[in-house]
Amino acid sequence: MRRLEIKTVYSEYTSEKELPEEDQALLQKAKKALKQSYSPYSHFKVGAAALLENGKTVISANYENASYPSTVCAEHSALIQAANRYPKSPVVALAITVLNSEQVIEDPAMPCGSCRQVICETEGRNGQDMRVILQGEKGKVHVFERGGDMLPLAFDGGFL
Please list the pLDDT of the chain residue by residue as tens digits (160 residues): 999 999 999 999 999 999 999 999 999 999 999 999 999 999 999 999 999 999 999 999 999 999 988 999 999 999 999 999 999 999 999 999 999 989 999 999 999 999 999 999 999 999 999 999 999 999 999 999 999 999 999 998 889 9
Burial per residue of 129-147, b for 16 or more beta-carbon CB atoms within 10 angstroms, e otherwise: bbbbbbbbbeebbbbbebb
Count the domains in the chain: 1
Residue at 15 is within a domain: yes
pTM for the model: 0.95
User: What is the spatial distance between Cα 117 and Cα 155, in angstroms, rounded to a whole number?
Assistant: 8
Task: Clarify whether 16 is annotated catalytic.
Answer: no
**Per annotation, catalytic residue among 18, 21, 64, 75:** 75
Give pairs for 125-130: CB < 8 Å, separation 24+: 125/83, 126/90, 126/91, 127/90, 128/90, 128/92, 130/90, 130/91, 130/92, 130/93, 130/94
Residue at 94 is within a domain: yes
Residue at 2 is within a domain: no
Residue at 17 is within a domain: yes
What is the domain-level CATH number for residue 144? 3.40.140.10
User: What is the spatial distance between Cα 119 and Cα 124, in angstroms, rounded to a whole number?
Assistant: 9
Range of the domain at 15: 11-152
